[in-house]
Amino acid sequence: MKDFNKDNIIDAEFTNIEDDINDKDTKTRLIRGEPLFYTTTQVSEMVGVEPSTIRFWSKRFENLLDIEVSNKNKQYKKTDVEKLKFIKKLAKEDGLTLQQVEDYCSSKGFDMNEIEQSVVDSSNPLAIQTIMAALTVEIDKKLNSFSNELLNKIDEKQKNGVLIQQEMNDKLHETIALTVDEIVSEKLDKSVSEFKSYVDEKERQATSRDIEMIDMLKNNMEERKKQQEELEAEKKKSFLGRLFGK
């Protein structure tokens, strides 16, 4: 086998296959002298984390990274390396959880210009934007949970609403009935008292003929009182019927 550059080949994550790559394969993996693909070990050195971390992130973010696989071996492109560097920055430097990293990258994607700038410039506001985006996702989840809980409580209250409304109507009916009774009784007592005082006064001043007229007035008063009570009772019944739709 001819000599070849060890840095220009792909390694397996769990099996070393470097000795099986021939010169032709090596040449097809070079573009302008740069490797087309990198090994897990090379990527770990470039990103600055352990190979096991690269393997874990590759699996955890496989839908975001879209790493190619050949003969069951992962092949890391230059863009994959940059994405992994960005993931490292978010997780290790900015303190985001892996779920927050996934949420942010899923919604914002990977802008290579922003990635390169954020990796080089630690003062770049992208970190703040990332945290805000992750917080937005968390807030949305909390709001959705709160909305569902609130809707459930409203539904529960609505189910009990008929009973509560009936209870309130009964109490209102009772209160109004008592109030009407008090008003009617008060007015009737006052009218009777005033009229009786008037009759008594006239009785003291009356002659024998006047006494007969007074007796007639008394009888008439009693009859009117009875009619007044019946009329007030009918008015109260009609008022309550209109109020409660009965």
Q: What does pTM read for this prediction?
A: 0.39
CATH class of the structural domain 38-113:
mainly alpha
Confidence of residue 240 (pLDDT cuts 50, 70, 90): low
What are the tens digits of pLDDT across the range 161-197? Answer: 666 777 777 777 777 777 766 776 666 666 667 767 7
* Phi, psi for residue 96 in degrees, rounded to 5: -80, 150
* Phi, psi for residue 10 in degrees, rounded to 5: -105, 140
Are the C-beta atoms of 136 and 107 separated by less than 8 Å? no
For residues 2 and 22, what is the distance between their CA atoms, to the nearest angstrom? 8
Residue 239 has pLDDT above 60, yes or no: yes
Residues ≥6 apart with Cβ < 8 Å to 56: none
Weakest mean pLDDT among 36-45, 49-58, 67-76, 105-114: 105-114
DSSP state of 39: -
Q: Work out whether strand 73-75 and strand 34-35 pair parallel, antiparallel, or are unpaired.
A: unpaired
Are the C-beta atoms of 88 and 49 separated by less than 8 Å? yes
DSSP state of 90: I
Residues ≥6 apart with Cβ < 8 Å to 30: 8, 36
Residues ≥6 apart with Cβ < 8 Å to 3: none
Please name the amino acid found at residue 38: Y
Nearest residue to 118 via CA among 108, 137, 40? 108
What are the tens digits of pLDDT across the range 19-60? Answer: 333 333 433 455 555 678 888 889 999 999 999 999 999 999
Confidence of residue 111 (pLDDT cuts 50, 70, 90): low
Residues ≥6 apart with Cβ < 8 Å to 81: 38, 43, 46, 47
The tokens for 44 are 């770990």
